[in-house]
Amino acid sequence: MKLTDPVSDLPFVGQTYGTRLKRLGIETVKDLLYHFPFRYQDFSRQAKIKDLWVGNEVSLKGKVKEVANLRTKTGKFLTKTVIEDESGAIDAVWFNQPYLNRTLKEGAEIGLAGKVDSFSGRTTLVSPEFEILRGREALHTAGLVPVYPETARLSSKWLRSRIKPLMNELQAGDPLPQELREKYQFPSLLNALPQIHFPQNSVEAKKARQRFAFEELFNLNIRSLLRKKKWQEQKTPVKIERRKSEEKLQEFIRNLPFTLTKAQKRALEEVFQDMTKEVPMNRLLEGDVGAGKTVIAAAAVYLTFLNGARSILMAPTEVLADQHFKTLKDLLSPYGLKIALHTGSHKEKDGDDFDLWVGTHALFYKNGNFGKVGLVVIDEQHRFGVRQRAQLFKKAKSREVPHILTLTATPIPRTLALAVYGDLDLSLLDELPPGRTPVKTYIVPPAKREKGYLWLGKKLARTDGQAFVVCPLIEESEDDSLKQVRAATAVFENLQKTLPKLKIGILHGRLKSREKEKILESFRKGETKILVSTPVVEVGIDVPNATVMMIEGAERFGLASLHQLRGRVGRGEKESFCFLLTESEEKPVLERLRALEKEQSGFALAELDLKLRGPGEIYGTVQHGLSELKVANLTDNQLIKEAREEAQNYMVENDQEKSN
């Protein structure tokens, strides 16, 4: 059996189970073998029947002495068996599974695992796991039993039955170099696979997991370094000369309505240095909410313009594209730049003679090309696919790749950024501009919710400020799990009744673009006092007069998202507040939300969120290989560092071998 073989070719899999496995991302034998357990049920304590007592969890072997289907007083089916071993006998019962009497035959050798309970006054195994042994070793009811991520009609029991036979049939080379296995004392692939799926003990499982975690991070770094190496072979279509433009650049910086922070100056210098090289820039500018990323992008656009080339800025939403357009127009049009907005609802009609195109995905489908493009700025790049970006580059007149500056307001811990964005150079804006006041943050329990809104009404009437109210859903859901979540429409209607003297608007993704713009414009002008919204306001809406952010169903958001929402207020010198409204009383939920009360740094919160929720929850599992990290713990800084260094050494040694 080879790793590349289709999983549907395996015995007892076929097309039906192949389709179900595909839902878990499993298409080949390797995918199945690398579908690792996320925990183990500990059935390693084998007990004799005479030693059992109510309350303990056990594993045992025995023979079926009696089996019968009965009906309870309430009309439910009850399958009752008597299991015996050399030390005694015990009852085992299962509910509403009448077909079990066709499997549990008298005299059958059986393995059982589960909790011992009291049933009808007798010591009984209630709904235990079981398997017919037929002389084989127990797979599901003894030892450390693996539990896997599952999907509909595909259980861990079925997965164990398919994975176990592969342990002895596999033929495969080891993707981890031998010298690294020896250096870190990792087991080989053919030893590590049985050890992670069916370990003899927890120490063995831990060592195998560490090996696969290292392998994942090593491969991730190798791919990043290969992308970076390939990028170094590109040439930019525009020669950027900074020296001739220096005086005008300094004038641009002097005339800004604010003073650049040290972090902004450092990032700007890194960007300018990249842009004067022949190899196109490929830099990630990571900054907390309000850290001033847009002005760095504006300066890079201006430098491109001074060297006779055009720029493109691509944003994930119309709201954000519109905000960028307004900001960049204010900053750059005084210096002679013509700026166009190109979104689904707004197409520029004045021809193609623009120095900067700002837009959304609609830029991919623009008629004609953009001319001589020297710079592409991408905001929140994880929302755009690689093919989409390539499609955009084709719109440029030259076949060569322009400079690329990527912006993100999602605070990514440095260790994670280096692991995930290893092909990009990284600039951090890790300080906020002066004058930004810390936002006072409080958790609001259900009992104080209505009082909170009455307080809001009084505050806005007294200070002439404005507020956001953010909800996870647009409409009330009938789904039981979401009934407690306050929907935007319900909150909007409730606020209109509670605060009838204030103008309240509602914004969500189902509105047409013109309606959105009309609502936003009213809010920007200060006419609308409260904007009820879905998380579309997470990025892109800059209203300095807004001083209160109220977040309904706060427990449903990650810390990174809550922090970004909070960043929509406190953008001026006025005292600002963020209220986290939650229906939850669970201790872990409240502890996570309390972190926002204490911490103002998005980077610190991202580190905490990473530990609590994992990278997929925060950043989306499809980003840059994060979906491939099944066992790697991205808070294990030491392992991340070692994998990165070893990948770099491996690439250097490979290049030396090729040159020799």
Look at residue 504 in the predicted model and tell me its pLDDT: 96
Pick from 102, 123, 101: which is nearest to 114 by CA? 123
Is the model's pLDDT at 511 over the cut of 60?
Answer: yes
- Do 536 and 634 share a domain, yes or no? no
Query: How confident is residue 243, by pLDDT bands cut at 50, 70 and 90?
Result: very high
Query: How confident is residue 448, by pLDDT bands cut at 50, 70 and 90?
Result: very high
- Do 205 and 279 share a domain, yes or no? no
For the four alpha carbons of 84, 85, 87 and 92, in that order, the dihedral sign comes to negative
Q: Say if 615 falls within a structural domain.
A: no
Domain count, the chain: 4
Q: What is the pLDDT of residues 371-381, one digit of tens each?
A: 899 999 999 76
Measured distance CA(505)–CA(501) in Å, rounded: 13
Look at residue 103 in the predicted model and tell me its pLDDT: 93
- Do 395 and 508 share a domain, yes or no? no
Tell me, what CATH number does 526's domain have?
A: 3.40.50.300
Phi-psi region of 480 (alpha: psi -120 to 50; beta: other; left: phi over 0): alpha
Q: Say if 618 falls within a structural domain.
A: no
- Do 311 and 415 share a domain, yes or no? yes
* DSSP secondary structure of 65-134: EEEEEEE-TTS-EEEEEEEEETTEEEEEEEES-GGGGGTS-TT-EEEEEEEEEEETTEEEEES-EEEE-T
Look at residue 620 in the predicted model and tell me its pLDDT: 46
Look at residue 571 in the predicted model and tell me its pLDDT: 78
Lowest-pLDDT range of 282-286, 403-407, 566-570, 623-627:
623-627
Measured distance CA(598)–CA(53) in Å, rounded: 48
Average pLDDT over residues 55-79: 92
Tell me, what CATH number does 95's domain have?
A: 2.40.50.140
Q: Say if 3 falls within a structural domain.
A: no
Measured in degrees and rounded to the nearest 5, phi and psi for residue 292 equal 95, 45
Q: Say if 362 falls within a structural domain.
A: yes
Domain final residue pick, 379, 405, 429 = 429
Measured distance CA(155)–CA(160) in Å, rounded: 9
- Do 129 and 72 share a domain, yes or no? yes
Q: What is the pLDDT of residues 143-158, one digit of tens each?
A: 999 999 999 999 999 9
Range with the largest mean pLDDT of 204-218, 316-330, 367-381, 527-541: 204-218
Pick from 545, 550, 559, 558: which is nearest to 532 by CA? 550
Measured distance CA(237)–CA(224) in Å, rounded: 24
Q: What is the pTM of this model?
A: 0.79
Measured distance CA(297)–CA(27) in Å, rounded: 42
Is the model's pLDDT at 399 over the cut of 60?
Answer: yes
CA distances from 112 to 43, 90, 93, 130 (A): 9, 11, 12, 4
- Do 381 and 528 share a domain, yes or no? no
Structure-token pair, residue 606 = 């991202």
Q: Which helix (H) or strand (E) holds 58?
A: strand 57-71
If you average pLDDT over every residue of the chain, what do you get? Answer: 88
For the four alpha carbons of 465, 470, 475 and 479, in that order, the dihedral sign comes to negative
Look at residue 464 in the predicted model and tell me its pLDDT: 84
Average pLDDT over residues 217-226: 92
CA distances from 377 to 83, 300, 504, 581 (A): 69, 9, 35, 36
- Do 405 and 456 share a domain, yes or no? no
Range with the largest mean pLDDT of 201-215, 306-320, 578-592, 623-637: 201-215
Measured distance CA(40)–CA(382) in Å, rounded: 33
Q: Say if 16 falls within a structural domain.
A: no
For the four alpha carbons of 464, 468, 474 and 478, in that order, the dihedral sign comes to negative
Average pLDDT over residues 350-357: 83
Query: How confident is residue 481, by pLDDT bands cut at 50, 70 and 90?
Result: very low
- Do 448 and 550 share a domain, yes or no? yes
What range defines the domain where residue 117 resides?
A: 45-141
Look at residue 432 in the predicted model and tell me its pLDDT: 76
Based on DSSP, count helices (H) and strands (E) in the chain, helices before strands: 20, 21
Instruction: Tell me the three state secondary structure of residue 31.
Output: helix
Say which residue, 382 or 436, is predicted with more confidence.
Answer: 436
Is the model's pLDDT at 541 over the cut of 50?
Answer: yes
Is the model's pLDDT at 482 over the cut of 60?
Answer: no
Domain final residue pick, 429, 460, 479 = 429
Q: Say if 650 falls within a structural domain.
A: yes
Instruction: Tell me the three state secondary structure of residue 518.
Output: helix
Q: Say if 660 falls within a structural domain.
A: yes
Please calculate the CA angle 219-221-226 and round it to the nearest 5 degrees: 95
Percentage with pLDDT > 70 across the chain:
91
Measured distance CA(407)–CA(607) in Å, rounded: 19
- Do 412 and 264 share a domain, yes or no? yes
The rounded Cα 603 to chain-centroid distance in angstroms is: 15
Query: How confident is residue 484, by pLDDT bands cut at 50, 70 and 90?
Result: very low
Look at residue 45 in the predicted model and tell me its pLDDT: 84
Q: Say if 12 falls within a structural domain.
A: no
Look at residue 386 in the predicted model and tell me its pLDDT: 56
Q: How many CB atoms lie within 10 A of CB 121?
A: 6
- Do 220 and 281 share a domain, yes or no? no
Domain final residue pick, 382, 407, 429 = 429
- Do 325 and 412 share a domain, yes or no? yes
Longest Cα–Cα distance of the chain, Å, equals 94
CA distances from 106 to 89, 188, 191 (A): 14, 44, 39
Percentage with pLDDT > 90 across the chain:
63
Look at residue 404 in the predicted model and tell me its pLDDT: 93
Query: How confident is residue 510, by pLDDT bands cut at 50, 70 and 90?
Result: confident
Pick from 154, 215, 139: which is nearest to 32 by CA? 154
Q: What is the pLDDT of residues 597-647, one digit of tens each?
A: 999 888 788 778 777 766 655 454 344 455 567 898 877 889 999 999 999
- Do 454 and 581 share a domain, yes or no? yes
Measured in degrees and rounded to the nearest 5, phi and psi for residue 207 equal -65, -40
Query: How confident is residue 542, by pLDDT bands cut at 50, 70 and 90?
Result: confident
Measured distance CA(324)–CA(498) in Å, rounded: 35
